[in-house]
Structure 1
Amino acid sequence: MQVRFLLATPTFTCSKYRKRISAILHGPAPSLPACTMFLTDPGAVEALMARHAWHETPCGVPTSWEACLQHALRHMLDSATPMFIVWGEGETFFYNDAYVPILGRRHPEALGRAFREVWPDAYPVVAPAVAQAMSGHAAGFVDVPFTLTRNGAEEQAWFSFTYSPLRRLDGSVRGFACVVTETTDMHAWKRSDAALQDARLRLEAALEAAQVGIWNWNIGENRVYADANLARLFGISERDADGGPIEAFLAAIHPDDAVGVSTHIERALVTGEPFSDSYRVRRGDGGYRHVEARGKVRFGADGQPEWLPGIALDVSAQKEAEAELLRSERALMESEARFRVIANAMPQAVWSTRADGFHDYYNDQWYAFTGMPPGSTDGDGWNAIFHPDDQPAAWEKWRHSLASGEPYEIEYRLRHHTGQYRWVLGRALPVRGENGEIVRWMGTC
């Protein structure tokens, strides 16, 4: 390719050239063809520049352009990196082929227009950087999002921009050049990394809240890599948590459980079956916490066990709750047993209902008096052995007590096991819980 520039005027000492030199330096630019500075086989944008009506722009025709602008344009047009140049007080806008996708529909009308007209929406944002560059100081932006058309479709991309002043030989600034670097891949990596970090933090928070620790044992090198939760759970130092031997972890297990844990690990290494065990580990205060552990051996290409990753869950609270529930159940059973002994020792018939009035307990005297099979009078079956003339009143009185919480008391005839009806006095009182609500009714007859 042939490059033709408008060359800077050399210095001649011969007097016959002095007038010519003066005319060149101080007079109007020579009248040369408009395409003097452009290549004979230009790129797409350069071809547009060669045909552009520059005489209608503040820059004037290319033959009048200053050498610093010509050199900057040549560098821009030859670059495979997206670039643009803003020149002069009119902020005339130049750009290269690589910048076209960023312009999108603004191309080709953007060529030769004022920078602020090309990017009217963005100009208020970039104006301070423009002013900084025009004052002789570099400026720029990092990771700016753009929607551009690429490969026939619109896509989101990110770019960084660097504004660098363009100076004359005397140091004065006439414009600035912008180098555009696409950061889409880096931005995507940052977003992926940020998402990964966020997921990791959320996982750590969830594991910590659930008191779950994670480990991975390199079997061949005998190095265990544990997270902070597992280190706290086992009381392991940071050093041992980052590649310490398995023995450091086994040492924290209760002596009565250690042999069983080792046996289960060996079985998993030999058979490949999942490792699963429950055991106690020593706390810092000398006590023990309950742990449930799960893991799965990973084998190498040679069939030998290489890794044993797994988790350990602190189930101390669950174990304590189970123990407390067992104690409560035992206490309740003992209480019920005492109650039954006392109730069966009483000469009267004793009965009890739920809060809703459902009869679910009668003592031995009830069944001895009525001759009814155990359980046959549960629910509302009791009403069937009341005298038919007394049933409506008994029901009305019982419903009133259930609704109001008032004590229940009524005389009625109850069928004896001999088939005869005998007068009895039925009484019941509500049993209230700590919040004052009725939890049961206890009655006699």
Structure 2
Amino acid sequence: MMGRHDWSASVLPPPEHWPPRLSALVDLMLVSPTPTFIGWGPGLGLLYNNAHVPLMGDRHPLVLGCPLAVAWPKLWEEARPIAERVLAGESIHVEFQRITVRTGDNDRDAWFHACYMPIHDGDHGVQGIYCTLQDTTREMLTQQHRISALQRLQQLFEQAPGFMAVTQGPEHRFEIANEACTRLVGERDLVGRTVREVMPDVAGQGYLELLDNAYRSGEAFVGRRMAVHVSRSGNHREDRYVDFVFQPIRGTDGAVTGIFIQGSDVTEQERLEVQLRESEAKFRTITDAMPQIVWSTLPDGFHDYFNRGWYEFTGVPEGTTYGNAWSGLLHPADMGRSWQLWQHSLATGEPYEVEYRLRHRSGEYRWVLGRALPLRDQGNITRWMGTCTDIHERVIAREMLQREAQRKDEFLAMLAHELRNPLAPIRAAASVLPAAAGDAERTAQLADVIERQVAHMTRLVDDLLDVSRVTRGLAKLDLEPDDLKSIVTGAVEQVRPLIEKRRHTLATWMVPAPVPVRADRTRLVQVFANLLNNAAKYTPDGGHIELRVDIHDGEAVVGVRDNGTGIDAQLLPHVFDLFSQGARDADRSQGGLGIGLALARSITQLHGGQIVGLSNGRGQGSEFIVRLPMAKPATDAPATAISTQPAPRGNSGCSVVVVDDNVDAARTIALALEIAGHEVSVCHTATAAFAMAAHGPASVYIIDIGLPDMPGYDLAQQLRRHPGTAHATLIALTGYGRPEDRERSKEAGFDRHLVKPVDVGELTDLMDAISSCPSHAT
């Protein structure tokens, strides 16, 4: 390479003119495997070996023999002081010297360890520089990467939101600390100072002991939400809460040399959590004090809270009904609809409301009202809050009211049916009467039809009034010593025609001894007649009825059993309810208003007894048992017989005024009394009746209580005050027959109280009795 080079432009002569010292060094350089160059002579002409050629780039071989300052113009600025020192006789070692290599238009940097040595030439002193290069580019790049990584780590260390520090030695002297650490301790200059010096107020808080223990044991310590009291400017003491770790740092020999401290100031989080815990405690206190069940779910419907009321109601252990486990307490029949509505609310955000049965701790399923509303944050549902209210009694009462309303409707339908039945023949007879005016026999037949049907309607109305008085406790019993067997026998005699008509067999057994009771005979006959009547009606023709009178445990016991249609299990608990009846055919062939058993129970209870109904179901017959308290046998002398022979009929009629705004009713009564031989006038208002009395008083006034211009009570009082009618007989005519109604009539001045519809025979008998009195003879 050097032999073929043109040395004419060089600061060095051709090789054949080189001094022996230079030639020897060049020969040594050329065989060296490492990049080596020589700078010779006053101009430091450049000579280099083949290993050095790549460092010259495009300048090779043009720079061969050129001065170093020309060959490396940029490097010369850095290398010139080195060259001057070497030429002065000093050997110099330079690490990581950068050399820029240009190839084409690209420059690249390479780093070398350079060893500069002076070249001595005998007496001529230092004549040049001999330099060997070792490529350290890879080491340099690795070091640069490491430095860059350390710089990034330092930046992260400084910028970390949590506090970080490294202490050295057993005295825990700060080696490094980030900004967050200085803010926590309130000091700026930490490095080089011990923890005790920087934070003397933690000496009694246990943290220095934790550092000592971590340093001695080599085991890390992790603290959670630990309180630390730090002093601020002005002796202000501040409580902070920190999460931290004391991590021992070990040297190459495995011994602990320091502690890495890392953590976060969680004071604000702790305060928020304290506030949240306080808020939750208040919430739990409030919800636990509520008389309702309170529950809450996540937005997806996951149940994560139940108040104390839930656990007291259900009796389940706490925490066992989270998620969907609570649904196991729902009544199976209510689960489908409840889940459907709940899923709909979760999907739409609409309020949730449903009634369902929830299993109580007693095992009973009780009705509750479930409600839930969504809590929203900026339109998004964050939680559902719900309640369950025990409405069991309300639901039962509502169902009872519904059943009562249904029974009332059924009763009204039955009443309409029962009233239409007698009205039909009455209407038919009334329409035929004009055509039979001249036929006495047919007229009598039609009158008999009307009388029977009116009597039937009267019994229906009397039954209603009777049950109203008894069930409301308004009836007064006339209790007398009596023999229960005699009472029962009387009931049998009343029902025997129906039993014989239906071809039933009646088996009767009565205890031989008397069965003394204190009883209202009429009422108890009514009870047992009703039971026997029901047995006869609801037993198919040719059935069997058993009647038993016995004494058991000091009580009188009467049982009526039949093999009839029986009673449904669903109806059995309600047979004594007012207007309750079993299933009937559309033609209602048995009739009745469904009030008999209600009346029987009330009368029995008024006697201090009880009545129960038994049946195994439809088609299995039924049995009713009445229990009454026994009475001591009567020891009183027998009552003196009183004559009940009718008084002799008067020889002449009375003057009568009938006052009734019902024209047909007034005319009918007047016609009946005229046929009986009385002189009758008719008025339709109280005013007209009083005016008639002023002109010509009558001996008898039959007055309707409900007159249009004034109550009949007021008219009676006016007549009593009038001299001409002060001693007249006043008869009240009304649809009200309660004892209090009769008492009010008496207070108003009436002598008699008749309940509509009036029995014509009873009325004519009464008038005959009045006319027989001399003071009323005309």
Shift of 1:212: 0.9
Work out whether 1:75 is the aligned partner of 2:22.
yes
TM-score (norm 1): 0.51
The residue identity in structure 2 corresponding to 1:78 is: L
Work out whether 1:394 is the aligned partner of 2:343.
no
Letter in 2 for 1:212: M
User: Contact (CA 8 Å) 2:329, 2:358: kept in 1 or not?
Assistant: no
Given the superposition, is the C-alpha separation of residues 192 and 338 from structure 1 closer, same or farther in structure 2, using an over 3 Å criterion?
Answer: same
Match of 1:91 in 2: none
Aligned to 1:330: 278
The amino acid that maps onto 2:261 is A
Instruction: Give the whole-Å Cα distance in 1 for the aligned partners of 2:342 and 2:183.
Output: 60
* 1:406 aligned counterpart, secondary structure: coil
User: Is the CA contact 2:37–2:52 (under 8 Å) kept in the aligned structure 1?
Assistant: no
Task: Give the alignment of 1:102-251 within 5 angstroms.
Answer: 102=52, 122-123=57-58, 126=59, 137=70, 139-140=72-73, 141=75, 143-144=98-99, 158=111, 181-185=132-136, 187=137, 190-191=140-141, 193-208=143-158, 209=160, 210-217=162-169, 224=173, 226-229=175-178, 234=185, 241-242=191-192, 246=194, 249-251=195-197
1:382 deviates by 3.6
**AA at the equivalent of 1:75:** L
Q: Which has the higher contact order (CA 8 A, sep 6+)?
A: 1
Q: Secondary structure at the match of 1:409?
A: strand
Distance 2:281 2:328 in 1: 29
**Shift in Å, 1:259:** 7.5
**Alignment CA distance shift 1:70-1:399 (3 Å):** same
- Residue identity in the other structure for 1:255: D
Do the aligned residues in 2 keep the contact of 1:77 with 1:95 (CA within 8 Å)? Answer: no
- Choose from 294, 298, 301 the match for 1:357: 301
Q: Which residue of 2 aligns with 1:404?
A: 348
1:252 aligned residue (187, 191, 198) = 198
Cα pair 1:428 1:441 within 8 Å, conserved: yes
Post-superposition Cα deviations, 1:128-155, rounded to whole Å, max 9, x if no partner, equal x959958984534563489xxxxxxxxx
Checking the alignment, whether the CA contact within 8 Å between 1:160 and 1:180 is kept in structure 2 is no
State the shift of 1:339 in Å: 1.9
Q: After TM superposition, give the deviation of residue 122 of structure 1 in Å.
A: 3.3
From 287, 290, 293, the equivalent of 1:339 is: 287
Does 1:309 find its partner at 2:258? yes
Alignment CA distance shift 1:256-1:359 (3 Å): closer
| Alignment check: 8 A CA contact 1:231 1:237 kept | yes
For 2:176, the aligned partner's letter is D
- In structure 2, the gaps of 5 or more residues are 30-35, 40-45, 76-96, 102-108, 115-127, 390-778
Q: Any idea what the Cα deviations from partners look like across 1:320-349, whole Å, max 9, x if unmatched? A: 42343233223213222222212xx24xx5
Q: Which amino acid aligns with 2:373?
A: L
> How far apart are the structure 1 equivalents of 2:358 and 2:272?
44
Instruction: Please say if residues 293 and 313 of structure 1, whose CA atoms lie closer than 8 Å, have aligned partners that are also in contact.
Output: yes
Q: CA deviation at 1:384?
A: 5.8
Contact 2:201 2:230 in 1 (8 A): no
1:442 is displaced (CA, Å) by: 1.2
Distance 1:399 1:367, change over 3 A: same
Whole-angstrom CA distance in 2 between matches of 1:78 and 1:381: 98
Contact 1:216 1:307 in 2 (8 A): no
Q: 1:432 to 1:233 in 2, by over 3 A?
A: closer
Amino acid across the alignment from 2:384: R
Q: What's the RMSD between the two structures over aligned residues?
A: 5.5
Match of 1:432 in 2: 376
- Aligned pair count? 316
SS of 2:380's equivalent? coil
* CA distance 1:258–1:202, shift in 2 (3 Å): farther
Q: How big is the shift at 1:216? A: 2.1
For 1:321, which of 269, 284, 305 is the aligned residue?
269
When the two structures are superposed, what TM-score results if normalisation uses the length of structure 2? 0.32
2:717 corresponds in structure 1 to none
Q: In structure 2, how many angstroms separate the alpha carbons of the residues matched to 1:419 and 1:66?
A: 120
Alpha carbons of structure 1 residues 359 and 251: separation in structure 2 relative to 1, 3 Å = closer
Change (3 A) 1:431 1:227: closer
Task: Give the conservation status (yes or no) of the 8 Å contact 1:231–1:241.
Answer: no
Separation in 2 of the partners of 1:431 and 1:193? 59
Letter in 1 for 2:72: A
Instruction: State which structure, 1 or 2, has the greater radius of gyration over its C-alpha atoms.
Output: 2
Separation in structure 2 between the aligned mates of residue 394 and residue 268 of structure 1, nearest angstrom: 59
Mark the runs of 5 or more structure 1 residues left unpaired by the alignment.
1-44, 86-93, 104-118, 147-155, 162-176
Please identify, of 224-233 and 424-433, the stretch whose mean Cα deviation from structure 2 is larger: 224-233
Partner of 2:519: none
Q: Distance in 1 between matches of 2:131 and 2:352?
A: 91
Does the 8 Å CA contact 2:248/2:260 hold for their aligned counterparts?
no
Distance 1:372 1:426 in 2: 18
Write the distance in 2 (CA, Å) between the matches of 1:274 and 1:307: 10
Looking at structure 2, the residues matched to 350 and 307 of structure 1 have their Cα atoms a distance apart, in angstroms, of 56
CA–CA distance in structure 2, aligned partners of residues 263 and 416 of structure 1: 56
Displacement of 1:283 in angstroms is: 4.7
State the Cα distance separating 1:418 from its structure 2 match.
8.0
Determine what percentage of the aligned residue pairs are the same residue. Answer: 23
TM superposition shift of 1:437: 1.7
Q: CA deviation at 1:414?
A: 6.0
Instruction: Specify the code of the residue in structure 1 equivalent to 2:148.
Output: D
Per-residue deviation, residues 104-147 of structure 1 (Å, max 9, x unmatched): xxxxxxxxxxxxxxx79932xx49x959958984534563489x
CA positional deviation for 1:403: 1.1
Deviation at 1:184, TM superposition (A): 2.2
Contact 2:300 2:346 in 1 (8 A): yes
